[in-house]
Structure 1
Amino acid sequence: MEAKQIMLVCAAGMSTSLMVNKMQKAAEDRGLAARIFAVPVPEAAEYLANEQVDVLLLGPQVRYLLDDFKEKTAEKGIPVEVIPMTDYGMMKGDKVLDLAESLIG
């Protein structure tokens, strides 16, 4: 089974890198093959152009970019959603992974 590519987009990357670690742990616990990575907003377009991405999750701090990213990903059919503030703030990697999986289908 090919690993799911889960991209998180954030402002700077500090807290989001913690979320990536929590999500990776949750994926390992579930036996889910996933590559979870975070990129800052300025690098996101390049990643989308050059990488296979199955789902894109925005950190709550960049939720204002949701419509922009939905436009950028529509052609490729990549689902985009904002990570809920409570799950992000409490670093609930399992809940954020649930969200990613539900969007991938």
Structure 2
Amino acid sequence: MKRTDSTGGFTLLELVIALSITSLILVFIGSAFYMGYRSEERASEREGLQQRIRIINERLTWLLRGAYPFVRVSPEGNTLYFFGKKDSIGFVTTSTLSGSALEERAGLTFMKIFLDDG
């Protein structure tokens, strides 16, 4: 027996297979975009951290370049104005940070720098 009323369309099985393949392709494309977005986000975070580290390094280098071995002479003995601990440092310097209130005052300045874990 031969079917004569064929409309030339797709069968239900063909539609299900086509939709499944399309869904898989869309999932792969979405995953690729998401991974690219996350990668760019992490790179941006790293770049910001590196920028902050560079700025801190430049400022510390500037201050330490102007470090001066200032010694206070007193009857009790000589005192060198320098100290260093694991989370702080203090020293006398001729350099000041640009834009700070100390910039207008020339001369020796005692700087105390702390490490902030936050």
Q: TM-score, normalised by structure 1?
A: 0.19
- Greater helix proportion: 1
Q: TM-score, normalised by structure 2?
A: 0.17
Question: More relative contact order in 1 or in 2 (CA 8 Å, sep 6+)?
Answer: 1
